[in-house]
Amino acid sequence: MAAAITGVGAYAPRFRISSEAFEEAWGQFHAAGVTEKAVPSADEDALTMAYEAATRALEAAATDPDDIDWLAVASSRPPAAEEDLTVRLGAMLSLSESATGQLFSGSTRSGTRALWAGMDALEADTTTALVVAADAPRGDPDDGMDHAAGAGSAAFVLERDGPAEITDRAEYSAPYPGTRFRNSGEDETQGLGITQYDRQAFTETIGGAVDGLEVEPEAEAAAIQAPDGKLPYRAAGAAGVSTDVIQAAATVHELGDLGAASVPLSLARALEDGYESVLAVSHGSGAGADAFTVEAEGDVPAVTALEGDDPLTYAEYLRQRGIVTTGPPSGGGAYVSIPSWRRSLPQRYRLEAGRCSECGALSFPPEGSCDDCGALAEYEPVELAGEGTIEAVTTISQGGAPPEFAEQQARSGDYAAAIVALETDSGDETVSAPAMGTDADPADFSVGDRIETTIRRIYTQEGVTRYGFKIRPASE
Protein backbone atom coordinates (compact mmCIF):
# COMPACT_ATOMS: atom_id res chain seq x y z
CA MET A 1 0.00 0.00 0.00
CA ALA A 2 1.39 3.39 -0.97
CA ALA A 3 2.04 6.27 1.39
CA ALA A 4 1.72 9.83 0.15
CA ILE A 5 2.50 13.28 1.51
CA THR A 6 -0.54 15.53 1.21
CA GLY A 7 0.70 18.54 3.19
CA VAL A 8 4.05 19.95 4.29
CA GLY A 9 4.87 22.37 7.09
CA ALA A 10 8.25 23.75 8.15
CA TYR A 11 9.50 26.30 10.66
CA ALA A 12 12.74 27.91 11.83
CA PRO A 13 13.15 30.51 14.61
CA ARG A 14 13.64 34.15 13.64
CA PHE A 15 16.97 34.56 15.42
CA ARG A 16 20.21 34.02 13.48
CA ILE A 17 23.87 34.05 14.41
CA SER A 18 26.59 34.19 11.76
CA SER A 19 29.86 32.32 11.51
CA GLU A 20 31.60 35.71 11.75
CA ALA A 21 30.06 36.31 15.19
CA PHE A 22 31.46 32.99 16.41
CA GLU A 23 34.85 33.74 14.89
CA GLU A 24 35.00 37.12 16.61
CA ALA A 25 34.30 35.44 19.95
CA TRP A 26 36.54 32.37 19.59
CA GLY A 27 39.10 33.40 16.99
CA GLN A 28 37.91 30.54 14.77
CA PHE A 29 34.76 28.82 13.58
CA HIS A 30 34.52 25.03 13.70
CA ALA A 31 31.43 24.35 11.53
CA ALA A 32 32.58 24.03 7.93
CA GLY A 33 30.10 25.26 5.34
CA VAL A 34 27.71 26.94 7.80
CA THR A 35 27.40 30.68 7.15
CA GLU A 36 24.72 31.28 9.79
CA LYS A 37 22.33 29.23 11.88
CA ALA A 38 18.88 29.50 13.41
CA VAL A 39 18.71 30.05 17.18
CA PRO A 40 15.63 29.25 19.30
CA SER A 41 14.43 32.10 21.48
CA ALA A 42 14.17 31.75 25.24
CA ASP A 43 10.54 30.59 25.04
CA GLU A 44 11.09 28.03 22.27
CA ASP A 45 11.97 24.33 22.41
CA ALA A 46 11.35 21.18 20.38
CA LEU A 47 7.69 21.05 21.44
CA THR A 48 6.84 24.63 20.46
CA MET A 49 8.69 24.24 17.15
CA ALA A 50 6.82 20.98 16.52
CA TYR A 51 3.57 22.92 17.04
CA GLU A 52 4.67 25.57 14.53
CA ALA A 53 5.44 23.01 11.81
CA ALA A 54 2.41 20.82 12.54
CA THR A 55 -0.12 23.66 12.32
CA ARG A 56 1.36 24.64 8.97
CA ALA A 57 1.22 21.08 7.63
CA LEU A 58 -2.44 20.76 8.64
CA GLU A 59 -3.18 24.09 6.97
CA ALA A 60 -1.34 23.06 3.81
CA ALA A 61 -3.20 19.75 3.57
CA ALA A 62 -6.54 21.39 4.49
CA THR A 63 -6.89 18.63 7.08
CA ASP A 64 -9.09 18.94 10.14
CA PRO A 65 -7.20 17.97 13.33
CA ASP A 66 -10.01 15.52 14.15
CA ASP A 67 -9.09 13.56 11.01
CA ILE A 68 -5.59 12.72 12.31
CA ASP A 69 -5.66 9.23 13.80
CA TRP A 70 -1.88 8.69 14.18
CA LEU A 71 0.74 11.16 15.42
CA ALA A 72 4.52 10.82 15.63
CA VAL A 73 6.91 13.33 17.19
CA ALA A 74 10.67 13.02 16.71
CA SER A 75 13.50 14.89 18.44
CA SER A 76 16.98 14.09 19.64
CA ARG A 77 16.47 16.78 22.29
CA PRO A 78 12.93 16.67 23.70
CA PRO A 79 12.41 19.33 26.38
CA ALA A 80 11.90 16.66 29.07
CA ALA A 81 13.99 13.49 29.28
CA GLU A 82 11.00 11.45 30.44
CA GLU A 83 7.67 12.64 29.09
CA ASP A 84 5.53 11.79 26.08
CA LEU A 85 5.48 14.86 23.82
CA THR A 86 2.73 13.41 21.65
CA VAL A 87 0.17 13.95 24.41
CA ARG A 88 0.99 17.64 24.86
CA LEU A 89 1.27 18.29 21.14
CA GLY A 90 -1.97 16.45 20.45
CA ALA A 91 -3.77 18.67 22.97
CA MET A 92 -2.22 21.82 21.49
CA LEU A 93 -3.37 20.81 18.00
CA SER A 94 -6.84 19.70 19.15
CA LEU A 95 -6.30 16.17 17.88
CA SER A 96 -8.76 13.48 18.86
CA GLU A 97 -7.94 11.85 22.20
CA SER A 98 -8.28 8.48 20.44
CA ALA A 99 -5.41 9.26 18.03
CA THR A 100 -2.39 7.00 18.47
CA GLY A 101 0.78 8.81 19.54
CA GLN A 102 4.38 7.63 19.17
CA LEU A 103 7.55 9.40 20.33
CA PHE A 104 10.92 8.91 18.61
CA SER A 105 14.13 10.13 20.19
CA GLY A 106 17.72 9.24 21.06
CA SER A 107 19.21 9.86 17.61
CA THR A 108 19.38 12.29 14.71
CA ARG A 109 17.84 9.43 12.73
CA SER A 110 14.62 9.64 14.73
CA GLY A 111 12.95 12.00 12.25
CA THR A 112 13.08 9.43 9.46
CA ARG A 113 12.30 6.61 11.91
CA ALA A 114 9.04 8.45 12.60
CA LEU A 115 8.36 8.78 8.88
CA TRP A 116 9.03 5.05 8.46
CA ALA A 117 6.60 4.24 11.27
CA GLY A 118 3.99 6.51 9.69
CA MET A 119 4.20 4.48 6.51
CA ASP A 120 3.76 1.29 8.52
CA ALA A 121 0.72 2.82 10.23
CA LEU A 122 -0.88 3.55 6.86
CA GLU A 123 -0.29 -0.06 5.83
CA ALA A 124 -2.29 -1.08 8.90
CA ASP A 125 -5.56 0.70 9.68
CA THR A 126 -4.51 4.37 9.85
CA THR A 127 -6.14 6.69 7.33
CA THR A 128 -4.36 10.00 8.07
CA ALA A 129 -1.05 10.37 9.92
CA LEU A 130 0.90 13.41 11.07
CA VAL A 131 4.68 13.09 11.39
CA VAL A 132 6.59 15.92 13.07
CA ALA A 133 10.34 16.32 13.61
CA ALA A 134 11.73 19.19 15.68
CA ASP A 135 15.18 19.69 17.13
CA ALA A 136 17.67 22.16 18.56
CA PRO A 137 21.01 20.44 19.19
CA ARG A 138 23.64 22.05 21.38
CA GLY A 139 27.22 21.30 22.34
CA ASP A 140 29.98 22.75 24.46
CA PRO A 141 30.42 26.47 23.60
CA ASP A 142 33.90 26.02 22.11
CA ASP A 143 33.09 22.81 20.23
CA GLY A 144 32.25 22.34 16.55
CA MET A 145 29.05 20.59 17.56
CA ASP A 146 27.70 23.82 19.06
CA HIS A 147 29.09 26.05 16.32
CA ALA A 148 26.98 24.09 13.81
CA ALA A 149 23.91 23.49 16.02
CA GLY A 150 20.78 25.13 14.62
CA ALA A 151 17.05 24.78 15.22
CA GLY A 152 14.00 23.96 13.14
CA SER A 153 11.07 21.65 12.50
CA ALA A 154 9.17 19.97 9.70
CA ALA A 155 5.84 18.14 9.53
CA PHE A 156 4.08 15.95 7.00
CA VAL A 157 0.47 14.85 6.65
CA LEU A 158 0.49 11.29 5.30
CA GLU A 159 -2.39 9.60 3.51
CA ARG A 160 -2.70 6.70 1.10
CA ASP A 161 -3.00 8.88 -1.97
CA GLY A 162 -1.63 12.31 -2.66
CA PRO A 163 0.63 14.51 -4.78
CA ALA A 164 3.95 13.18 -3.38
CA GLU A 165 4.25 9.42 -3.08
CA ILE A 166 6.95 7.67 -1.02
CA THR A 167 7.82 4.99 -3.54
CA ASP A 168 10.74 3.16 -1.91
CA ARG A 169 12.56 2.86 1.39
CA ALA A 170 15.52 1.00 2.86
CA GLU A 171 17.65 1.03 6.01
CA TYR A 172 21.18 0.05 6.94
CA SER A 173 23.04 -0.18 10.24
CA ALA A 174 26.57 -0.91 11.43
CA PRO A 175 28.06 -0.55 14.95
CA TYR A 176 30.08 2.69 15.09
CA PRO A 177 29.96 3.79 18.74
CA GLY A 178 31.12 7.25 19.73
CA THR A 179 30.37 9.29 16.60
CA ARG A 180 27.75 11.45 18.33
CA PHE A 181 26.31 10.94 21.81
CA ARG A 182 24.79 12.63 24.85
CA ASN A 183 25.19 10.77 28.13
CA SER A 184 22.47 10.61 30.77
CA GLY A 185 22.29 13.80 32.81
CA GLU A 186 24.30 15.81 30.29
CA ASP A 187 22.96 18.74 28.29
CA GLU A 188 25.52 18.94 25.49
CA THR A 189 25.92 16.52 22.60
CA GLN A 190 29.46 15.25 22.15
CA GLY A 191 31.59 13.27 19.74
CA LEU A 192 35.02 11.70 19.79
CA GLY A 193 36.09 13.93 16.91
CA ILE A 194 38.01 11.23 15.04
CA THR A 195 37.53 12.62 11.55
CA GLN A 196 38.23 9.52 9.47
CA TYR A 197 36.16 7.32 11.80
CA ASP A 198 33.18 9.71 11.75
CA ARG A 199 33.36 10.07 7.97
CA GLN A 200 33.49 6.32 7.45
CA ALA A 201 30.45 5.76 9.68
CA PHE A 202 28.57 8.49 7.80
CA THR A 203 29.35 7.37 4.26
CA GLU A 204 29.06 3.62 4.92
CA THR A 205 25.58 3.82 6.46
CA ILE A 206 24.25 6.32 3.92
CA GLY A 207 25.65 4.29 1.04
CA GLY A 208 24.27 1.08 2.53
CA ALA A 209 20.77 2.52 2.89
CA VAL A 210 20.72 3.86 -0.68
CA ASP A 211 22.06 0.56 -2.02
CA GLY A 212 19.15 -1.18 -0.30
CA LEU A 213 16.53 0.66 -2.35
CA GLU A 214 14.75 -1.54 -4.85
CA VAL A 215 15.12 0.98 -7.68
CA GLU A 216 18.21 3.13 -8.16
CA PRO A 217 17.02 6.70 -7.57
CA GLU A 218 17.32 9.39 -10.23
CA ALA A 219 16.91 12.28 -7.84
CA GLU A 220 16.66 15.94 -8.76
CA ALA A 221 17.28 16.86 -5.12
CA ALA A 222 18.78 14.93 -2.22
CA ALA A 223 18.03 15.64 1.44
CA ILE A 224 21.11 14.25 3.20
CA GLN A 225 21.77 14.37 6.96
CA ALA A 226 23.85 17.50 7.61
CA PRO A 227 25.85 17.71 10.87
CA ASP A 228 27.79 20.49 9.15
CA GLY A 229 27.92 22.09 5.72
CA LYS A 230 30.65 19.83 4.38
CA LEU A 231 29.95 16.21 5.36
CA PRO A 232 26.79 15.73 3.21
CA TYR A 233 28.79 16.48 0.07
CA ARG A 234 31.42 13.93 1.06
CA ALA A 235 28.64 11.33 0.93
CA ALA A 236 27.64 12.25 -2.63
CA GLY A 237 29.43 9.28 -4.14
CA ALA A 238 28.04 6.84 -1.58
CA ALA A 239 24.52 8.16 -2.18
CA GLY A 240 24.96 8.04 -5.97
CA VAL A 241 24.15 11.72 -6.52
CA SER A 242 26.04 14.85 -7.50
CA THR A 243 26.91 17.66 -5.11
CA ASP A 244 24.52 19.92 -7.07
CA VAL A 245 21.65 17.56 -6.26
CA ILE A 246 22.54 17.77 -2.55
CA GLN A 247 22.84 21.55 -2.77
CA ALA A 248 19.31 21.74 -4.20
CA ALA A 249 17.74 20.62 -0.90
CA ALA A 250 20.37 21.81 1.58
CA THR A 251 19.29 23.87 4.58
CA VAL A 252 22.43 23.49 6.72
CA HIS A 253 24.25 26.49 5.26
CA GLU A 254 21.70 29.01 6.59
CA LEU A 255 19.97 27.08 9.39
CA GLY A 256 22.76 24.88 10.80
CA ASP A 257 22.67 21.30 12.03
CA LEU A 258 19.01 20.48 12.68
CA GLY A 259 19.57 17.08 14.26
CA ALA A 260 16.50 14.87 13.86
CA ALA A 261 14.82 17.60 11.76
CA SER A 262 17.72 17.86 9.29
CA VAL A 263 16.44 15.46 6.63
CA PRO A 264 12.71 16.15 7.15
CA LEU A 265 13.20 19.91 6.77
CA SER A 266 15.40 19.50 3.68
CA LEU A 267 12.76 17.18 2.22
CA ALA A 268 10.09 19.78 2.99
CA ARG A 269 12.10 22.46 1.18
CA ALA A 270 12.67 20.25 -1.86
CA LEU A 271 8.95 19.49 -2.17
CA GLU A 272 8.00 23.14 -1.71
CA ASP A 273 10.50 24.11 -4.43
CA GLY A 274 8.78 21.76 -6.87
CA TYR A 275 11.33 18.97 -7.29
CA GLU A 276 9.57 15.92 -8.65
CA SER A 277 12.08 13.28 -7.55
CA VAL A 278 13.71 13.54 -4.13
CA LEU A 279 16.08 11.20 -2.31
CA ALA A 280 16.04 11.55 1.50
CA VAL A 281 18.75 9.85 3.58
CA SER A 282 19.27 10.22 7.31
CA HIS A 283 22.18 9.17 9.51
CA GLY A 284 22.16 8.57 13.24
CA SER A 285 25.04 7.80 15.54
CA GLY A 286 25.36 4.25 16.58
CA ALA A 287 25.20 4.03 13.49
CA GLY A 288 22.33 3.63 11.06
CA ALA A 289 20.60 5.27 8.13
CA ASP A 290 17.20 5.41 6.43
CA ALA A 291 16.71 6.12 2.74
CA PHE A 292 13.47 7.13 0.99
CA THR A 293 12.58 8.08 -2.55
CA VAL A 294 9.72 10.52 -3.01
CA GLU A 295 8.07 11.11 -6.39
CA ALA A 296 5.83 14.15 -6.78
CA GLU A 297 3.27 14.96 -9.45
CA GLY A 298 2.37 18.61 -9.54
CA ASP A 299 2.55 21.01 -6.63
CA VAL A 300 2.71 19.65 -3.10
CA PRO A 301 0.81 21.93 -0.68
CA ALA A 302 3.33 23.51 1.67
CA VAL A 303 3.28 26.27 4.29
CA THR A 304 6.71 27.21 5.61
CA ALA A 305 8.34 29.93 7.72
CA LEU A 306 12.11 29.62 7.40
CA GLU A 307 13.30 33.19 6.98
CA GLY A 308 15.28 34.80 9.80
CA ASP A 309 15.24 38.53 10.38
CA ASP A 310 16.95 39.10 13.73
CA PRO A 311 20.76 38.72 13.87
CA LEU A 312 22.40 38.05 17.24
CA THR A 313 25.79 38.92 18.64
CA TYR A 314 27.61 36.08 20.38
CA ALA A 315 26.78 37.58 23.80
CA GLU A 316 23.08 37.72 22.86
CA TYR A 317 23.31 34.14 21.64
CA LEU A 318 24.66 32.99 25.02
CA ARG A 319 21.89 34.90 26.78
CA GLN A 320 19.12 33.32 24.69
CA ARG A 321 20.59 29.91 25.48
CA GLY A 322 20.57 30.70 29.21
CA ILE A 323 24.34 30.42 29.64
CA VAL A 324 24.72 34.08 30.64
CA THR A 325 21.87 35.42 32.79
CA THR A 326 21.43 37.47 35.94
CA GLY A 327 20.65 34.39 38.00
CA PRO A 328 17.46 33.25 39.71
CA PRO A 329 15.21 35.91 41.27
CA SER A 330 14.39 36.09 44.95
CA GLY A 331 10.95 34.75 45.82
CA GLY A 332 8.95 32.17 43.93
CA GLY A 333 6.35 34.35 42.25
CA ALA A 334 2.71 33.46 41.85
CA TYR A 335 2.06 29.77 42.43
CA VAL A 336 -0.27 27.84 40.15
CA SER A 337 -0.55 24.17 40.97
CA ILE A 338 -0.24 21.59 38.20
CA PRO A 339 -3.86 20.41 38.69
CA SER A 340 -5.06 24.02 38.35
CA TRP A 341 -2.88 24.57 35.28
CA ARG A 342 -4.20 21.39 33.69
CA ARG A 343 -7.80 22.56 34.13
CA SER A 344 -6.92 25.70 32.19
CA LEU A 345 -5.33 23.89 29.22
CA PRO A 346 -8.38 24.31 26.92
CA GLN A 347 -7.94 28.08 27.30
CA ARG A 348 -4.14 28.11 27.13
CA TYR A 349 -3.80 25.68 24.21
CA ARG A 350 -7.00 26.07 22.18
CA LEU A 351 -8.31 29.51 23.22
CA GLU A 352 -11.55 28.07 24.54
CA ALA A 353 -13.85 30.89 25.68
CA GLY A 354 -17.33 30.45 27.14
CA ARG A 355 -20.73 31.79 26.15
CA CYS A 356 -22.98 32.70 29.08
CA SER A 357 -26.18 30.64 29.04
CA GLU A 358 -28.09 33.59 30.53
CA CYS A 359 -27.13 36.54 28.34
CA GLY A 360 -25.03 35.06 25.55
CA ALA A 361 -21.93 37.14 26.27
CA LEU A 362 -18.44 35.69 25.82
CA SER A 363 -16.01 35.34 28.72
CA PHE A 364 -12.35 34.41 28.72
CA PRO A 365 -11.46 32.44 30.68
CA PRO A 366 -14.93 30.87 31.09
CA GLU A 367 -15.08 30.73 34.86
CA GLY A 368 -16.79 32.55 37.71
CA SER A 369 -19.60 35.01 37.13
CA CYS A 370 -20.39 36.40 33.68
CA ASP A 371 -18.52 39.64 32.96
CA ASP A 372 -21.66 41.16 31.38
CA CYS A 373 -24.68 40.06 33.43
CA GLY A 374 -22.99 38.77 36.58
CA ALA A 375 -24.82 35.45 36.49
CA LEU A 376 -23.18 32.33 37.90
CA ALA A 377 -24.35 30.30 34.94
CA GLU A 378 -23.00 27.47 32.81
CA TYR A 379 -20.75 28.38 29.89
CA GLU A 380 -21.01 26.91 26.40
CA PRO A 381 -17.49 26.27 25.03
CA VAL A 382 -16.50 28.49 22.08
CA GLU A 383 -13.07 28.12 20.48
CA LEU A 384 -11.60 31.42 19.32
CA ALA A 385 -9.85 31.88 15.98
CA GLY A 386 -6.36 32.79 17.18
CA GLU A 387 -6.51 36.24 15.61
CA GLY A 388 -7.39 39.64 16.96
CA THR A 389 -6.40 43.23 17.70
CA ILE A 390 -4.33 44.85 20.43
CA GLU A 391 -6.45 46.96 22.79
CA ALA A 392 -3.70 47.98 25.22
CA VAL A 393 0.01 47.23 25.47
CA THR A 394 3.01 47.98 27.66
CA THR A 395 6.64 46.90 27.85
CA ILE A 396 7.91 44.90 30.80
CA SER A 397 11.52 45.99 31.25
CA GLN A 398 14.39 44.33 33.04
CA GLY A 399 13.50 43.81 36.69
CA GLY A 400 9.81 44.49 36.11
CA ALA A 401 8.69 40.94 35.44
CA PRO A 402 6.98 38.85 38.12
CA PRO A 403 9.47 36.36 39.61
CA GLU A 404 8.10 33.39 37.66
CA PHE A 405 8.87 35.20 34.37
CA ALA A 406 12.22 36.64 35.46
CA GLU A 407 14.31 33.75 34.13
CA GLN A 408 12.90 34.15 30.64
CA GLN A 409 13.32 37.91 30.79
CA ALA A 410 16.95 37.49 31.80
CA ARG A 411 17.41 35.52 28.59
CA SER A 412 15.14 37.29 26.13
CA GLY A 413 15.17 40.86 27.50
CA ASP A 414 12.16 43.21 27.54
CA TYR A 415 8.84 41.81 26.39
CA ALA A 416 5.39 43.14 25.50
CA ALA A 417 2.38 42.54 27.73
CA ALA A 418 -0.96 43.28 26.09
CA ILE A 419 -4.73 43.12 26.30
CA VAL A 420 -6.03 41.74 23.02
CA ALA A 421 -9.49 41.41 21.53
CA LEU A 422 -9.56 37.79 20.30
CA GLU A 423 -12.11 36.99 17.61
CA THR A 424 -14.50 34.14 17.09
CA ASP A 425 -14.23 32.08 13.89
CA SER A 426 -16.94 34.19 12.28
CA GLY A 427 -15.08 37.38 13.18
CA ASP A 428 -18.22 39.17 14.37
CA GLU A 429 -17.54 38.82 18.10
CA THR A 430 -14.51 39.45 20.30
CA VAL A 431 -13.48 38.83 23.88
CA SER A 432 -10.59 40.49 25.72
CA ALA A 433 -7.68 38.50 27.15
CA PRO A 434 -4.22 39.28 28.56
CA ALA A 435 -1.24 37.93 26.63
CA MET A 436 2.55 38.07 26.40
CA GLY A 437 4.25 39.04 23.16
CA THR A 438 6.79 36.90 21.34
CA ASP A 439 8.63 36.74 18.01
CA ALA A 440 9.11 40.53 17.90
CA ASP A 441 10.54 43.45 19.83
CA PRO A 442 8.12 45.14 22.26
CA ALA A 443 8.15 48.24 20.04
CA ASP A 444 6.55 46.18 17.27
CA PHE A 445 3.30 45.86 19.27
CA SER A 446 0.95 48.87 19.15
CA VAL A 447 -2.72 49.52 19.94
CA GLY A 448 -4.84 48.62 16.93
CA ASP A 449 -2.29 46.22 15.44
CA ARG A 450 -3.44 42.85 14.18
CA ILE A 451 -2.01 39.83 16.00
CA GLU A 452 -2.06 36.05 15.79
CA THR A 453 -1.49 33.52 18.53
CA THR A 454 1.07 30.74 18.84
CA ILE A 455 2.12 28.43 21.67
CA ARG A 456 5.34 28.97 23.60
CA ARG A 457 6.94 28.25 26.95
CA ILE A 458 5.41 30.44 29.66
CA TYR A 459 7.56 29.57 32.68
CA THR A 460 8.86 26.58 34.63
CA GLN A 461 7.81 25.85 38.19
CA GLU A 462 8.39 22.71 40.27
CA GLY A 463 10.46 21.41 37.37
CA VAL A 464 7.43 21.38 35.06
CA THR A 465 7.31 23.74 32.08
CA ARG A 466 4.01 25.48 31.52
CA TYR A 467 3.08 26.10 27.88
CA GLY A 468 0.39 28.42 26.65
CA PHE A 469 -0.60 30.92 24.00
CA LYS A 470 1.32 34.09 23.28
CA ILE A 471 0.78 36.72 20.59
CA ARG A 472 2.92 37.94 17.73
CA PRO A 473 2.37 40.43 14.89
CA ALA A 474 0.01 38.93 12.30
CA SER A 475 1.73 37.44 9.27
CA GLU A 476 0.94 39.15 6.00
Q: Are strands 100-104 and 152-159 parallel, antiparallel or unpaired?
A: unpaired
Specify the pTM.
Answer: 0.94
pLDDT value at position 185? 83
pLDDT value at position 330? 46
Annotate 156-174 with b (16+ C-beta within 10 A) or e (fewer). Answer: bbbbeebbbbbbbbbbbee
Which residues, 6+ apart, have CB-to-CB distance to 34 below 8 Å?
Answer: 19, 147, 148, 150, 228, 229, 252, 253, 256, 257
In the chain the first and final C-alpha atoms are separated, in Å, by 40
**Single-letter amino acid code for the residue at 6:** T
Integer Cα distance of 134 and 127 in angstroms: 23
Decide if 113 contacts 74 (C-beta within 8 A).
yes
Decide if 212 contacts 291 (C-beta within 8 A).
yes
Beta-carbon count within 10 A of 443 CB = 9
Integer Cα distance of 1 and 210 in angstroms: 21
Which residues, 6+ apart, have CB-to-CB distance to 47 below 8 Å?
Answer: 78, 79, 85, 88, 89, 134, 467
Q: pLDDT 10s per residue in the chain (476 long)?
A: 579 999 999 999 999 999 999 999 888 898 999 999 999 999 999 999 999 999 999 999 999 999 999 999 999 999 988 999 999 999 999 999 999 999 999 999 999 999 999 999 999 988 999 999 999 999 888 888 899 999 999 999 999 999 999 999 999 999 998 888 888 888 888 887 878 999 999 999 999 999 999 999 999 999 999 999 999 999 999 999 999 999 999 999 999 999 999 999 999 999 999 999 999 999 998 889 999 999 999 899 999 999 988 999 999 998 888 776 554 444 456 778 889 889 999 999 999 999 999 999 999 999 888 988 988 888 999 999 999 999 999 998 877 777 778 777 888 889 999 999 999 988 889 999 999 999 999 999 999 999 999 999 998 888 899 999 999 999 87
- SS3 call for 170: strand
pLDDT value at position 407? 79
Strand partners, 100: 70
- The DSSP annotation for 325-365 comes to ---PPSS--S---HHHHHHTHHHHHH-EEEEETTT--EESS
